[in-house]
Amino acid sequence: MRLDYPVNVKIIRVPCTGKVDVMHLMRTIQMGADGAYVVGCLEGSCHYKQGNLRARERVMHVQKLLEEVGLEGDRVRMYNLSSGEGPTFAAYAKEMTEHIKKLGPNPLKKWSTATNKE
């Protein structure tokens, strides 16, 4: 559909959002990403039955962990859509980007950029 969405969104492919680990999400923030989001199938229509429901729970868990260490939990989110919903995908990408812009840069970035370069 070639729908425009913000260039800062980069996709990492997984077989099912049920494969997305808490560790993966934590790592993105630790490494300096300003935000990360998981895009899964609509609730109730997971090809593997309930992978997307597990992903949602993990996202909520990561949000809590981030809050605990003094970061905005909302830097990590979960979205659901069906594979036929290109426009919704683009809309979520925009929504997430705008939301992260409002939150500002990830405070860990300075630290993580320094370590990344080492």
Partner 1 sequence: MCVAKAICYDDVERESTLTVGSIILASGSQGYDPSKLDFLGYGKYPNVVTSEEFERILSASGPYRGHLCRPLDREEPKKIAWLQCVGSRDTNKCGNGYCSSVCCMYAIKEAMIAKEHVHGELDCVVFNMDIRSFGKDYEKYYLRAKDKDGVRFVKARIHTITEIPETGDLSVRFVNEAGEILEEIFNMVVLSVGLQIPESSKVLAKQLGIELNKYNFVTTDPFAPVITSRPGVYTCGVFQGPKDIPSSVTEASAAACMAGGDLVDARGTETKAIEIPDQQDVAEQTPRIGVFVCNCGINIGGVVNVPKVTEYAGTLPNVVFTDHNLFTCSQDTQDKIKEMIIEHKLNRVVVASCSPKTHEQMFMETLEACGLNRYLFEMANIRNQNSWIHSKSPELATQKAKDLVRMAVARSATLKQLNEKVISVNKQALVIGGGIAGMNAALGLGRQGFKVFLLEKESELGGFSLKLHHTIEGKDVKAYVKELIEQVRANANIEVIINARITDFAGYKGNFTTEVATGDQKQKLDHGIIIIATGAKEYIPIEYSYNEDPRVVTQVQLGDILEEKGAAGLDSVVMIQCVGSRNKENENCSRICCQNAVKNGIAIKKLNPDTNVYVLYRDIRTYGLMEDYYTEARNLGVIFIRFEEDNPPQVEPSSEGMIVKVKDHILQKNLEIRADLVTLSAGMVAEDTTELCGIMKFNRNPEGFFIEAHVKLRPVDMPGEGIFLCGTAHGPKLITEAIAQAQAAASRATTFLSKSHIKLSAITAQVDTEHCVKCLTCVRSCPFEVPVFNTEKQVIEIDDAICHGCGVCASVCPRQTIQLNFYEDNQITSKIDALLAGGM
- Which residues of the chain form contacts with partner 1 (CB under 8 A)? 1-5, 7-8, 10-16, 18-21, 23-24, 27-28, 31-34, 47-51, 54, 58, 87, 90, 112-113, 116
By three-state DSSP, how is residue 78 classified?
A: strand
Q: Which is nearer to partner 1, 50 or 74 (CB)?
A: 50
- Indicate the Cα dihedral angle 25, 29, 35, 40, nearest 10°: 0
CB count, 10 Å around CB of 117?
Answer: 6
* Both tokens assigned to 4: 């425009």
Output the smallest distance, CB 113 to partner 1, in A: 5
Q: Which is nearer to partner 1, 51 or 66 (CB)?
A: 51
